[in-house]
Structure 1
């Protein structure tokens, strides 16, 4: 097996340091100097391997939402092929825990308000997820109209995301279960 190039290794190291820096310092506190310190490289080396801060943040967003082919895709795990599995993921600990990845996503959401390229990455990922959920809902409810399935998928996704974002400050231990119950009720109403 061929060894990855030093440039690819450094780029991956810088992307990881960027995510850690966003999680620790927020999006506005994420500077090239802090990322350089986290990687043990100089700021010049960081710029050499990934470009300026805007390019680095765009590459970080793309990497965070990339599917195995490297394209921005759904946020659901690869191989999610039924609604139950999708719901278990969206309302399970891997997705709903307030962790580093969720802090990074929140930072990117904040940045998307002023950066159209970041907004496009987020829109692509969440649109792909919504469409995948609509297809899964339709599989379980073949008599429901495509529009009703899409509306249900949108509701499920907003329940899941709302629960995650509330998790940063709302310690209610029933929050995720209640959000899942709301999503289940929405789907059952089809």
Structure 2
């Protein structure tokens, strides 16, 4: 059996080190030198495998939001089949934990203000999520208009993201529960 390409393995290692560096130092503190130190390579090797910092950050954003095919899509897991499953994920501990991945996403939110390519990745991921939620809402509420389903999906996603972002500094143990209750109130109003 053929051995996987060293270049693919190195790119994956560098992207992982980039996420760690963003989580530890923020976007502005993420330099090729710090990434090289984190991955244990020279700066020149990092550039050889991934190009410049801007290209690396874009590739990292894509990797973070890509599905198993490499395409940027919904942030919901592929096995979510109904609104209840979506709420369980969006208001559950995995999505809401103040971990490395959430710190990286916040870094990309910051970077999206000045980097259209990063903004496009985020917009694609969250639009796909909103549309998937709208489809799930429509399946449960067949009498609701498509526009209403999209509006409710937008509200659910906004509640979930707000809860995540607050989690970095708000230790209120009821935060997730109250955010989910707000999303459920939107659904109950249909």
- Indicate the residue corresponding to 2:78 in structure 1: 78
Alignment of 1:92 onto 2:70: no
TM-score (norm 1): 0.99
Gaps of 5+ in 2: none
Q: Distance between the aligned counterparts of 1:188 and 1:62, measured in 2?
A: 35
Alignment of 1:10 onto 2:10: yes
Q: Distance between the aligned counterparts of 2:3 and 2:42, measured in 1?
A: 24
> Which aligned pairs between 1:115-154 and structure 2 lie closer than 5 A?
115-154=115-154
- Indicate the residue corresponding to 2:184 in structure 1: 184
Q: Distance between the aligned counterparts of 2:105 and 2:63, measured in 1?
A: 12
Deviations 1:30-64 (A, max 9, x none): 00000000011000000000000000000000000
Shift of 1:88: 0.2
Q: Distance between the aligned counterparts of 2:115 and 2:2, measured in 1?
A: 37
Q: Distance between the aligned counterparts of 2:62 and 2:156, measured in 1?
A: 24
Shift of 1:183: 0.2
Deviations 1:102-132 (A, max 9, x none): 0000000000000000000000000000000
TM-score (norm 2): 0.99
Q: Distance between the aligned counterparts of 1:3 and 1:19, measured in 2?
A: 26
Gaps of 5+ in 1: none
Shift of 1:146: 0.3
